Structure 1
Amino acid sequence: MNRSRRTVLSTAALTLALSALVLTEVAHAGKPVPSGKGTSKEEGGSDKTGIFAAAKVQYSGSVAKGGGSGNVSSADVNWAPPPCWYAPYLGAKDFKEKMSGDIKDAKSAPGMGGHAGAAINEMQRHYEDDYGWTDTPGYKDYNVEKDGEGMFWAGVENPNEPDYLKRTGCTDLPFWVDNGEPPPPQHEEAITPEMLAALAYQHMELPGTKVTLAPEAVTKVNLPTWAWLDKAVFDEVKATAAINVPGFNLEATTTAKPKSLTLDPGTKDATTIPADGECPIVDGKIGEPYAKGKSKETPPCGITYRRSSGGETFPLKASLTWEISWTGTGQANAVGMPNGTIEAVQDITVEEIQSINR
């Protein structure tokens, strides 16, 4: 039986009821929870994460340990990975067991009268008695008769999203999706390969950017300082994010390739080489190692300081720009993403050249 949204409790009341059943944010790594198995330590899940603990995104390749954000920042300040999304959660029988227990606990909790208690009753009818409304069909006995033919999907919070309101924005009630079918179009935040690529980007761990200098650490006023990067830095780096559960498999691989190095000398009294401070990759390398006999030559990448650091140091900042792209399920050709940057700061001492008057 479907009813208009206007004839049921407000979205706010349903959200209140839903949040009464949710404990904490989803874990970010681990094995998926297959239909008919429920959660267990062996499956990488914990039954204490609430109904928002949807199928976990698994990360592989060059990614940060412990599930935290990687060390690469997007050059586009307006770009960000998804703060939340919808993904497969549990099969029908497991979902019934999970929801029935949570609803029972919520009803017995203090303060669950009034609108909150009524909303929980509506939610129970939604999954047990086929009570639905516009665009949100109800279910008879949690779809148990279709167990193995699909899964309930639920919202997942991105634990690395600092904005709480964005992180908790996927508040639709868990909904059913048949195996092999796309999620209903009204759930715009349903997980996609492009979203997985963005998550892989967020977790990517790139090599550090320590520039080799000559002279090293201590240089002289008006003496060109040569700068270059070890060739090992130029290997492309890959990170993969995937969701694999019965009837649903999705993955994306994000690839980073070094593009250019930008030097910021840490003082206005310096000249960068090239003038804009950006050293491009030429013949598979950035800059050129200093060699004996090149003291009077101009380096292809470097800095000339015009005054001393006065017994202190200048913070030389080196920013390595990486070109980012992704491929994934249904997308064989590489698709561009915003460039990424890695920054490192090195302390440089600049001394006056001592001269002798005769």
Structure 2
Amino acid sequence: MKSWTVAVVIMAAMFSGASQARAERERSSVGTTQSATSGPHTITSRVTLTASPHPHALSSRTPTGPLTPTTPHWSPPPCWYEPFWTAEAFRTFTEAKWAMHTATGGAPGDFAADRRRYGDFHTRDERPGMWWVAVDNPEIPGDARAGQCARKPFWVPRGTVPSVPRAMTPAMLAALAYQSTRVPGTEVGMTPADRSVVNLPSWIWLDRSRFTPVSVTARLPQAGLWARTTARPVGLRVDPGAARAVTYPASGECPTGPDGTIGAPRRGGADAADLPPCGVTYLRSSGGRTYALRATLNWRVDWAGSGGTGGELPGGTYGQTRDVTVQEIQSVVRQPVAGAR
């Protein structure tokens, strides 16, 4: 299988005195090839996302979409800290920022606290490391919780796990991978295919060749961290889109069979009274219109990451709607005529 890598682009600025408030944090973005417009210097985030199979390979067969978490109020992190600057790079960037501030009329003492905090920027340390910075999640822009990552850049020696809240972890990378997961749409098969008949069961199934596990790997090499999520289909929920209808099973939840199949097409020669393992019987015609049958696939999501970490993430759902025409067949009963032969 092919994989794809998203290089995430951000912007960092040479800040003037008028933009000193924005200089409180140098931020980067991860998740898409989005960029901010805070200055002329472009730098690339270290976080990469790799999916298998390729989303385009999936979308060539059926539309794809993101998972909707089944756990209420769950969301990926709105912000975090990640290693970004080497000692020399951060020194060059920061001293240039200070120089521009002074050149544009700012007071030399405006950054006195930062000068004391950063010192020699750890350029003389025998043990190498990196400056970690605050990062906003661009997939949830404007999230007020991003203000939780208000800490200024801080130094972390190589091989050290920072004891700082919201510093990047494998679990956080797994949440970002979950956020980037795209699964195929639930285009179900139905028998009868073109239209249903009142009181006649319609058999529903999914082509299992379309619904293989989907994995996304998020990596932050500078921190030695990675996490891989894997989403697997585990069941199908059928909503007939009509009040007067019966689903099979009665709950509308069609489980995955031992061989990975969900539902089955109606067998040739099957008795009309046979009930499908997954399906629906409409009790009233659609009256020249259609019913919007909703098929939603349930996905289980597990993850594994660096350092032996791993676990289960909230399940997810993704579905599609199919228009179903339901007809009512009128039968004509002929009564015998007296004296007829």
- TM-score scaled by length of structure 1: 0.77
What's the counterpart of residue 195 of structure 2? Answer: 218
- Provide the C-alpha distance between the structure 1 equivalents of 2:40 and 2:77, rounded to a whole number of angstroms: 20
Q: Which amino acid aligns with 1:305?
A: Y
Matches within 5 A, 1:28-47: 28=31
Aligned to 1:97, what secondary structure does the other structure show? helix
Match in the other structure for 2:153 = 174
By how many angstroms is 1:108 displaced?
Answer: 5.8
1:272 corresponding residue in structure 2: 247
Kept in 1, the 8 Å contact 2:233–2:298? The answer is yes
2:208 aligns with one of 218, 231, 239: 231
Aligned position for 1:134: none
Question: Displacement, 1:79?
Answer: 1.0
- For the 8 Å contact 2:178–2:216, the answer to whether it is kept is yes
The superposition leaves residues 157-185 of structure 1 with CA deviations (integer Å, 9 ceiling, x where unpaired) of 000114432234311100000000111x2
Cα deviation, residue 64, structure 1: 5.7
The CA deviation string for residues 46-70 of structure 1, in whole angstroms up to 9 with x for no partner, is 99669997843100024768xxx95
Q: Which residue of 2 aligns with 1:325?
A: 302
Stretches of structure 2 lacking an aligned partner (at least 5 in a row): 1-18, 57-63, 335-341
Are the aligned partners of 1:262 and 1:319 in contact in 2 as well (CA < 8 Å)? Answer: yes
Report SS of the residue matched to 1:142: coil
How many residues get paired? 306
Contact 2:25–2:150 at 8 Å: present in 1 too?
A: no
Deviations 1:132-191 (A, max 9, x none): xxxxxx2312222138700000000000114432234311100000000111x2x20000
Structure 2: distance between partners of 1:209 and 1:317: 9
Q: Offset of 1:105 from its aligned partner?
A: 3.9
Q: Who is 1:281 aligned against?
A: 256
> What SS is found at the alignment partner of 1:56?
strand
* In structure 1, C-alpha distance between the alignment counterparts of 2:90 and 2:194, rounded to whole Å: 61
**1:262–1:90 CA distance, 2 compared to 1 (3 A):** same
Cα RMSD (Å) of the superposition?
Answer: 3.1
CA distance 1:271–1:29, change in 2 (3 Å) = closer
Tell whether 2:69 aligns with 1:74. yes
- TM-score, structure 2 normalization: 0.80
What is the correspondence of 1:74-113 to structure 2 with a 5 Å cutoff? 74-106=69-101
Indicate how the Cα distance of structure 1 residues 71 and 18 shifts in structure 2: closer, same or farther if over 3 A, else same.
Answer: same
- Does the 8 A contact of 2:228 with 2:304 survive in 1? yes
Conservation of the 8 A alpha-carbon contact between 2:27 and 2:136? no
Q: Which amino acid aligns with 2:112?
A: R
Aligned counterparts of 2:295 and 2:100: Cα–Cα separation in 1: 55
| Inter-partner Cα distance in structure 2 for 1:46 and 1:97 | 21
Matches of 1:250 and 1:257, distance apart in 2: 24
